[in-house]
């Protein structure tokens, strides 16, 4: 590590990635929301090449959460489980 590490906490933690376990696309995410919520609609996949972005996108990239699990001694749940929990919580607070 280079530079000076400072923080307001007595113990400084490294920068880690916050994501759930499992690899998905935005298309997979939309399909899961549709399924969990019981929506009757059609979801169409859209390739990155179909829209202009300033930065070139990699063909395939996923976030690795191993460092987060090792640093904080936790098991990160699967994305589908967390999405289901989140949607159920949102539904319970809006009904």
Q: What is the pLDDT of residue 10?
A: 62
Burial code (b: 16+ CB inside 10 Å, e: under 16) for 13-43 equals: eeeeeeeeeeebeeeeebebeeeeeeeeeeb
Q: Which residue stretches of the chain have pLDDT < 70? A: 1-14, 16-17, 95
What pLDDT sits at residue 35?
95
65-86 confidence digits (pLDDT tens): 888 888 889 999 999 999 999 9
């Amino acid at each position: 590590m280079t530079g000076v590490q400072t923080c307001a906490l007595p113990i400084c933690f490294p920068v880690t990635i916050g994501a759930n376990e499992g690899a998905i696309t935005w298309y997979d995410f939309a399909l899961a929301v549709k399924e969990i919520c019981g929506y009757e609609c059609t979801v169409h996949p859209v390739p990155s090449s179909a829209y202009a972005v300033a930065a070139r996108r990699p063909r395939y990239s996923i976030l690795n959460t191993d460092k987060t699990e090792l640093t904080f001694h936790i098991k990160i749940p699967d994305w589908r489980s967390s999405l289901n929990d989140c949607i159920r919580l949102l539904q319970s607070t809006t009904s």
